Chain A
Amino acid sequence: MTDTSAMAGRQRVTRSKRSAAWGAVVGVVVVAALFSLPYLVYANVTGVLVNLFILVSLATMWNLLAGYAGLISVGQQAYIGVGAYAVFVLAGDGISPFLAIPLAALISALVGLPASFLLLRLRREYFAIATWVVAEAFQLIVVRFDSLGGGAGAPLPGMVGLDPALRQAFTYWAALAVAVATLLGTYLLLRSRLGLDLTAMRDNEVGARSVGVRVGQAKRIVFLVAAAGAGAAGAVLVISQLFVQPTAVFTVQWSAYMIFVALIGGLGSIEGPIVGTVIFFFLQQTLADRGAWYLIVLGAVAVLMAMWVPRGLWGLISDRFGIRLFPVGYWLHGMNPPATGPGPKTESPQA
């Protein structure tokens, strides 16, 4: 807990509350437990968790775009694909696929840079569909290269000769690392000066611009970070599937997953996508033998949440109990309620 300013009297502003300190402790314990999981359980459990980590990473990145920068993208699968194919190409050159993950993230951001100049000028509806068209175009271009496996796809090189148990454990750790990196990265980003800009933009973009927030620059950074995150997730995806296929990585279904998870969990908070992913997996596992029903149910729930509970489940939880696991805002303690009328609560989160 850090006091950022001590005001006169009993009022003070802190960055976090005790719940956040506990959150940090719990977070470390959870990550440590998850890290040791391959030693304890069978590979089918870690295999499910790999998919969960991929989705947490994707939803966290999408939430950063939509929940903070107000950029609704339906085309993040473009960077999932770039990340996946980057690993494929690098592995073909003899680089270990696991070591290629950070490179794939970097390449995705580099590919995202020229796209950002085209896309970030566009209004929200244009932006949404243009990102989608870019993703479609990427797929149609990739399919034209026989060296990339064409439309049928190709197996990922550099994975043969690795003991399956070891390979599954490495894949699991890689997925965990990417998930922790996206969450921690988002947290640190939001605690920085840029995070303040983004929070201001989330609440009121015109207002933010008028107090000197460089909205364009902030959006570009977020766009590139999100591209890198999606690229890393795509890299993990191709490593876990051992096969790269254009229709599997460039499908708009990925956008559906990210959007539903973020909407159900809650936009504009770091915890939301985690909550949403857990619900997503619960529904998917429950309805596993009912084909596409889990998507229908998820879609319907997400639509209803967007219409009636715009801040999602985590919004409800944090309003009700005042919990913040990732303290990116400020808390105001000890303010006296005004004599009349419903004043601000004695402890109110300010961000």
Chain B
Amino acid sequence: MVWVNAIVQGILLGGLYALFACGLSLMFGVMRVVNLAHGDFAVLAAYLALAIITGLHVPVLWSALVVAPLFGMVGYLVQRFIIQRSLDVSPLTTLLVTFGLSIVIQNGLLEGLSANSQSLPSGSLASASFQVNNQLSIGYESVIVFAVAVVVLVCLQLFLSRARLGREVRAAADDQEAATIVGVNVRHVYGVTAAIAFATVALAGVAFGMYSSFNPAAGPQRLIFAFEAVVIGGVGSLWGTLAGGIILGLAQVLGSQVDASFGVLAGHLVFLMVLALRPSGLIPARLS
């Protein structure tokens, strides 16, 4: 039963990783940009949510409704003024610039706040759970996060396949020049893509803040987990990202069953194994 419990927890944790990873996957799929400050923006969103919750005395879910659109706007501006400029210099520059941003955000948080760990107060949600039997209980919180992840992925998929703007995003992803010729404002479309990615990052940051504590230096590890989920699942497929998140979550939870300190390392080893054996990911990419 311990193992069944671990498998259930691993799958649910995978939902959180998928929520983290879908923004990274989207930006990588459309612009070929890996935002190395991805995790730090998530931590920033968690701090902002904390400020809203303690300042306005509202529940966590309300704070997410403020933080996500706000981060959407931040994402649009970051894309138009920072990432686009770096892309124009060279693809390598985007890595260097977003890495620089990551360090600036981390140390800015460290200076402005403190190195102490914080967590988002989720009230009665934190302890409530389904009691399947006396050895297996499933927390509401992790089920909600998993459900949010699936809903976000479904919405993204529908947006990309059905909406006019989604079609423009796919066009820009496939061929930037051809998209420009047929009248797509590629830079604006890239901005919208980044806005969506940042909004999902904000949601993921809030979800992670409910799940576990965070501090200014927590970002890089979250970026690594998100990237691992993207690569394990395979770039260019949103469902692959969900699968990748679940595989990573399972590896970590099952690994920590073996030995408490082995969890994260087990996730890294699965990632490196996928890179060595199937660099294109486990799930074959179906171009949207």
Interface residues of A (CB under 8 A from B): 66, 70, 72, 74, 118, 121-122, 124-126, 128-130, 132-134, 136-137, 140-141, 143-144, 252, 255-256, 259-260, 263, 291-293, 295-296, 299-300, 302-303, 306-308, 310
Whether B108 pairs with A137 at a CB distance below 8 angstroms is: no
Whether A133 pairs with B228 at a CB distance below 8 angstroms is: yes
Whether B100 pairs with A300 at a CB distance below 8 angstroms is: yes
Whether B265 pairs with A303 at a CB distance below 8 angstroms is: no
Smallest CB–CB gap between A239 and chain B, Å? 27
Whether A72 pairs with B96 at a CB distance below 8 angstroms is: yes
| B224 partner, pick from A72, A136, A141, A263, beta carbons under 8 A | A136
Chain B residues lying within 8 Å of A256, measured Cβ to Cβ, are 99, 103
Smallest CB–CB gap between A113 and chain B, Å? 15
Chain A residues lying within 8 Å of B279, measured Cβ to Cβ, are 121-122, 126
CB-CB contacts below 8 Å: B20-74 with A: 28, 32, 34, 36
Q: Of all chain A residues, which has the CB nearest B83?
A: A307
| B268 partner, pick from A70, A118, A140, A295, beta carbons under 8 A | A140
CB-CB contacts below 8 Å: B102-152 with A: 103-104, 107-108, 110-111
Smallest CB–CB gap between A311 and chain B, Å? 11
Whether B89 pairs with A310 at a CB distance below 8 angstroms is: yes
Chain A residues lying within 8 Å of B7, measured Cβ to Cβ, are none
Query: B276: CB under 8 A from chain A?
Result: yes
Q: How far is the CA of A247 from the CA of B275 in the complex (A)?
A: 26
Q: Of all chain B residues, which has the CB nearest A252?
A: B220
| B36 partner, pick from A74, A124, A134, beta carbons under 8 A | A74
Query: B163: CB under 8 A from chain A?
Result: no
Chain B residues lying within 8 Å of A133, measured Cβ to Cβ, are 224, 228, 268, 271-272
0 or 1 for each of B78-110: is its CB under 8 Å from A? (1 = yes): 000010011001111101110111011001101
Smallest CB–CB gap between A139 and chain B, Å? 9
Smallest CB–CB gap between B170 and chain A, Å? 20
| B107 partner, pick from A74, A124, A295, beta carbons under 8 A | A295
Q: How far is the CA of A256 from the CA of B223 in the complex (A)?
A: 16
| A310 partner, pick from B82, B90, B228, beta carbons under 8 A | B90
B interface residues, tally (CB under 8 Å): 40
Whether B107 pairs with A144 at a CB distance below 8 angstroms is: no
Query: B269: CB under 8 A from chain A?
Result: yes
Smallest CB–CB gap between A290 and chain B, Å? 8
Whether A141 pairs with B107 at a CB distance below 8 angstroms is: no
Chain A residues lying within 8 Å of B97, measured Cβ to Cβ, are 303, 306-307
Chain A residues lying within 8 Å of B111, measured Cβ to Cβ, are 291-293, 296
Q: How far is the CA of A307 from the CA of B101 in the complex (A)?
A: 12
* Secondary structure type dominating chain A contacts: helix
Whether A259 pairs with B265 at a CB distance below 8 angstroms is: no
Q: Nearest 4 pairs between A and B by C-beta?
A: A303-B100, A292-B107, A299-B104, A125-B34
Q: How far is the CA of A144 from the CA of B263 in the complex (A)?
A: 12
Q: How far is the CA of A128 from the CA of B264 in the complex (A)?
A: 19
Chain B residues lying within 8 Å of A137, measured Cβ to Cβ, are 265, 268-269, 272
Smallest CB–CB gap between A223 and chain B, Å? 16
Chain A residues lying within 8 Å of B264, measured Cβ to Cβ, are 136, 140
Interface residues of B (CB under 8 A from A): 28, 32, 34, 36, 82, 85-86, 89-93, 95-97, 99-101, 103-104, 107-108, 110-111, 220, 223-224, 227-228, 231, 261, 264-265, 268-269, 271-272, 275-276, 279
Chain B residues lying within 8 Å of A306, measured Cβ to Cβ, are 86, 89, 93, 96-97, 100
Q: How far is the CA of A303 from the CA of B86 in the complex (A)?
A: 9
Smallest CB–CB gap between B230 and chain A, Å? 10
Chain B residues lying within 8 Å of A299, measured Cβ to Cβ, are 100-101, 103-104, 107
Q: How far is the CA of A118 from the CA of B146 in the complex (A)?
A: 33
26 A-B pairs whose Cβ atoms sit less than 8 Å apart in the complex: A72-B92, A118-B276, A125-B32, A126-B275, A128-B36, A129-B36, A133-B228, A133-B268, A141-B265, A259-B96, A259-B99, A263-B100, A291-B111, A292-B111, A293-B111, A299-B101, A299-B103, A302-B100, A306-B86, A306-B96, A306-B97, A306-B100, A307-B86, A307-B93, A310-B89, A310-B93
* Secondary structure type dominating chain B contacts: helix
Whether A259 pairs with B90 at a CB distance below 8 angstroms is: no
Q: How far is the CA of A310 from the CA of B97 in the complex (A)?
A: 11
Smallest CB–CB gap between B84 and chain A, Å? 10
Smallest CB–CB gap between A195 and chain B, Å? 20
Whether A122 pairs with B99 at a CB distance below 8 angstroms is: no
Q: How far is the CA of A316 from the CA of B134 in the complex (A)?
A: 70
Chain B residues lying within 8 Å of A122, measured Cβ to Cβ, are 275, 279
Q: Of all chain B residues, which has the CB nearest A292?
A: B107
Smallest CB–CB gap between B237 and chain A, Å? 16
Whether B231 pairs with A126 at a CB distance below 8 angstroms is: yes
Q: How far is the CA of A70 from the CA of B99 in the complex (A)?
A: 16
Q: How far is the CA of A59 from the CA of B224 in the complex (A)?
A: 24
Q: How far is the CA of A252 from the CA of B91 in the complex (A)?
A: 22
Q: How far is the CA of A292 from the CA of B103 in the complex (A)?
A: 10
Q: How far is the CA of A138 from the CA of B85 in the complex (A)?
A: 35
Please indicate which of the listed interface residues B34, B92, B101, B111 has the most CB atoms of chain A within 10 Å of its own CB.
Answer: B92
| B110 partner, pick from A124, A292, A308, beta carbons under 8 A | A292
Q: Of all chain A residues, which has the CB nearest B223?
A: A129
Q: Of all chain A residues, which has the CB nearest B92?
A: A72
Q: How far is the CA of A129 from the CA of B279 in the complex (A)?
A: 13
Chain A residues lying within 8 Å of B269, measured Cβ to Cβ, are 137
Whether A303 pairs with B101 at a CB distance below 8 angstroms is: yes
Whether A140 pairs with B272 at a CB distance below 8 angstroms is: no
Q: How far is the CA of A260 from the CA of B231 in the complex (A)?
A: 27
Chain A residues lying within 8 Å of B108, measured Cβ to Cβ, are 296
Q: How far is the CA of A129 from the CA of B97 in the complex (A)?
A: 14
Smallest CB–CB gap between B94 and chain A, Å? 9
Chain B residues lying within 8 Å of A296, measured Cβ to Cβ, are 103-104, 107-108, 111
Chain B residues lying within 8 Å of A134, measured Cβ to Cβ, are 272
Chain A residues lying within 8 Å of B227, measured Cβ to Cβ, are 129
Smallest CB–CB gap between A322 and chain B, Å? 24
